[in-house]
Amino acid sequence: MDKTPSVVGARVKRIDAEDKVAGRTLYPSDKTLPGMLWVEVVRAAHPHARIREIDVKPALEVPGVVRVLTHRDVPGENAFGIQIQDMPVLCFDRVRYLGDAVALVGAETRQAAREGARRVRVDYEVLEPITDPEAAMAPGAVALHPKGNIMHQGHFEKGDLAAGFACCAVIVENDYSVPMIDHAFLETEAGISYYDEHGRLTVDACGQYIYRDQTQIARALGLPLHQVRVMAPIVGGAFGGKDEVTVQIHLALMTFHTQRPCRMVATREESIVSHTKRHPVKMSYKTGADRQGNLLCVQARFVADTGAYASLGGPVLNVMMEHAAGPYRVPNVKVDGYAVYTNNGFSGAFRGFGCTQACVGLESQMDLMAAALRLDPLKFREQNVLHKGDLAGLGYPMTCEVGAGRTVRSAQRGALYRSRRRRAPAKPATPSLKPYLRRGVGVATQMQGLGLGIGIPDYAEVGLDLRPDGTLQLRAGTNEIGQGAYTAYLQILSGRLGVPLSRLSMVGADTALTPDSGTTTASRTIFAVGKAVELAAEKLERVLGERAERAFGWAPGPARLQGDQLAGSGGRRPLRELLGDEELSVQAVFHVPVAEREMGDGLPHRFYSFGTHVAEVEVNTLTGEIAVTAVEAHLDGGKVISRTGFEGQSEGGIAQGIGYALMEEVRLEGGRFLTTNFHTYVIPTSLDVPEDLRTVPVEVREPEGPYGAKGISETAMVGVTPAVLNAIADALGVRFFRLPVRAEDVLAALQEKKT
């Protein structure tokens, strides 16, 4: 029975709000233990070098240093990685980027640990770093890994590209370049490790999938899974940057050898140098349409710099290729993609997961084609969007509910787009600047695959504990990384059971207490975990009915909770009469449905979210400065579960999209990081995000999801950057093909246009 009270889709106070505002919430970086050791990592001194010898004796002479560990102290498999275990726990023969861990120092104080790390002597044979992905792919290039430097590649064709281009009235061809960027989460990689009361090696650290971390720790230490416990319920931001193992194995390794609690907290510089990034990509796009504005051809080539190790470089490239033709109906498509090893850090999961990069190129092409055809850019998109049953870019059918067209039409109705030719630039503080201000409005439409895709196990299991007083506890293994998922889970539970939120509580992300709910990535948690919550609620009512039938003689059928009472076919009885003093626990699992056709490594997805962004910019042609003055986000994430959470995801995505467009770039030279802190790696502040923000839910419900919900976390960001780029082109009549677009780029382009 579908009971939908106002709590589903409503604005409710987050269950963690008061503790976070009051400073009571403990993040991994806040936690300490009596008698703990500080652990510091000895990182590589060169981006590419052979290790001849490691001398730890000078470090052991530092007062307070207790233990120094090298590769010889890794008892199990000295390798880890989500997809390919190609990253050493501690390097033994070679370092491939500056973040590589060579040794660990455990000491009584952080100062002693740092001094010990400084004194570890590593004798290197320095090698020339490989920093150009195209050069790394060339025959004869030095191989960074045994199978060569092309970590993954994909090639897809649909239709007849040559015949399609022959029918085009407009053909647009361009190269695009997007940079490596950092997740810039508030809390750096951190955590503690210890032996719990049951003798389990316990790691409480930043992460995004406790069960995968547990497996990787156990494998590296040569321990059975049941002897390793991992928890990470509350994490200070991630955006994909904590999906890969960071501090977990190093903490566990030091506790394993010393039998003492340990703590690690990365500095910002260490964090930027060591953890994964968004892939820098070079893209080539050639697109064509007929005179009536029908999109006929998309040809794309991607070269993604995956850096020193695989991480999720293969799946990211696959998503890039899957979304190369975007949410559009295109009969002729050719896509080639390469993920390439280099010595430039290493890249992996980041909000948008490859779709972000592809959307920059494709949506720029869409605007250029619309202009060449003299068509309204949103009308052009609306004419070509996919509908349910259409074949997507790579040739598989769209079997899910497709909301792309509805988001475009919502944007067309929006105030920002309707008034785009009437809105004058804001009155400048200095009147003399007025002649130099140019205003423009840009749009972008996108889709984002939901979940892990076919061929990759994607499921969520949750537990539900009913107490005799009628209160309930939900147990789910995903992490709360700031997105408000735990609150949304309880909203779904409240809606299904008709139990007020005040009678519900949450236990999250602990392998000893919570079932395997899957990874906190891929816009999947509300969809997958939320559906498991629905199933658990239904199972609970069914079990209560079965028990009431046996205990009270009620007729068969589910029984419902009403406070501390049980209601069913036999009327109402106190719940305690049925349960006594014991809890009733149930578990339920939801397996995410997959596409009918498998194309390899998670390709394709079955479910997608959609969106259309409209952005307004003002450009100062005297100084080159760009200000984003308004953004409208028209987003289809299915049924909105938490209105506040939905808007929060959108507004955070807008901020990140602005940063990607205008500011952010991890710069390297010869494999060495030049931007290692927030005084050189610039991210948006509140002053860079416009006050004029509007998020419009476009609720195209997906029947497979809880209440028809899908996911929104990635879609909320993907279209922002190309919308800003298109707005700049609208303002200046100049288009940029490389990110980020800075003031000096604007001035140089205007000068070039003038000459």
Percent of the chain with pLDDT over 70: 99
Question: Do 542 and 534 touch, CB atoms closer than 8 A?
Answer: no
Gap between the Cα atoms of 738 and 132, Å rounded? 17
- Residue with tokens 């590419």, as numbered in its chain: 48
Q: Assess contact for 113 and 42: CB atoms under 8 A.
A: no
Backbone angles phi, psi at 551, to 5 degrees: -80, -40
Q: Are strands 437-450 and 459-466 parallel, antiparallel or unpaired?
A: unpaired
Q: What is the largest CA-CA distance in the chain?
A: 91
Strand (E) or helix (H) holding 216: helix 210-221
Nearest C-alpha neighbor of 468 from the set 575, 586, 587: 575
From 103, 123, 118, 99, select the one nearest 49 (Cα to Cα): 123
- Per-residue pLDDT, 5: 55
Q: What is the pLDDT of residue 1?
A: 37
Q: What CA–CA distance (Å, rounded) separates 492 from 533?
A: 7
Indicate whether 14 pLDDT > 60: yes
Domains 17-26+459-591 and 281-453+598-754 share a fold: yes
Whether residue 564 is predicted with pLDDT greater than 90 in this model: the reply is yes
- Over 80: is that where the pLDDT of 4 sits? no
What does CATH list as the number for 17-26+459-591? 3.30.365.10
Distance between CA atoms of residues 50 and 308, nearest Å? 14
DSSP labels for 450-463?
A: ESS-TTS--EEEEE
Six token digits for residue 658: 């602005």
CA distance 718 to 329: 19
**Dist. CA 343–CA 361, nearest whole Å:** 25
Q: Is 364:306 a contact under the CB 8 Å cutoff?
A: no
pLDDT, one tens digit per residue, over 183-209 is 999 999 999 999 999 999 999 999 999
Q: Domain-by-domain residue ranges, the chain? A: 17-26+459-591, 31-127+189-265, 281-453+598-754
pLDDT band for 434, please (50, 70, 90 cuts): confident
- CATH of the structural domain 281-453+598-754, one choice from 3.90.550.10, 3.30.470.20, 3.30.365.10, 3.40.50.1820: 3.30.365.10
CA-wise closest residue to 658 among 465, 500, 442: 442
d(CA 103, CA 728): 48
Query: What's the CA gap between 142 and 148, in Å, rounded?
Result: 8
Cis peptide before 179 (omega within 30 of 0): no
pLDDT of 3: 47
Does the pLDDT value for residue 136 go beyond 90?
yes
Question: How far apart, in Å, do the first and last CA atoms of the chain sit?
Answer: 70
Average the pLDDT over 613-618 and give the result: 98
Mean pLDDT, the chain, as a whole number?
96
Predicted pLDDT of residue 600: 81
pTM over 0.85: yes
Per-residue pLDDT at 493 exceeds 80: yes
Residue 281 in contact with residue 320, Cβ under 8 Å? yes
**597 CB contacts (<8 Å, ≥6 apart)?**
396, 454, 604
In tens, the pLDDT along 377-413 reads 999 999 999 999 999 999 999 999 999 999 999 999 9
Q: How many CB atoms lie within 10 A of CB 142?
A: 12
Asked whether the beta carbons of 491 and 642 are under 8 A apart, the reply is yes
Contact 716, 647 (CB under 8 A): no
List pLDDT tens digits, range 58-105.
999 999 999 999 999 999 999 999 999 999 999 999 999 999 999 999
Q: Could you give the CA distance from residue 295 to residue 248 in angstroms, rounded to a whole number?
A: 48
* pLDDT at 300 exceeding the cut of 90: yes
pLDDT confidence of residue 131: 98
Fill in the DSSP letter of residue 156: E
Task: Please say whether the dihedral angle defined by the alpha carbons of residues 660, 664, 666 and 667, taken in this order, is positive or negative.
Answer: positive
Considering only CA atoms, which of 120, 112, 118, 119 is closest in space to residue 38?
A: 112
Regarding the domain delimited by 31-127+189-265, which CATH topology (the fold level of the hierarchy) does it fall under?
Answer: Aldehyde Oxidoreductase; domain 3 (3.90.1170)
Q: Report the SS3 class of residue 196.
A: coil
- Does residue 6 register a pLDDT over 90? no
Check: CB of residue 223 under 8 Å from CB of residue 201.
yes
Listed range (33-37, 320-324, 597-601) with the worst mean pLDDT: 597-601
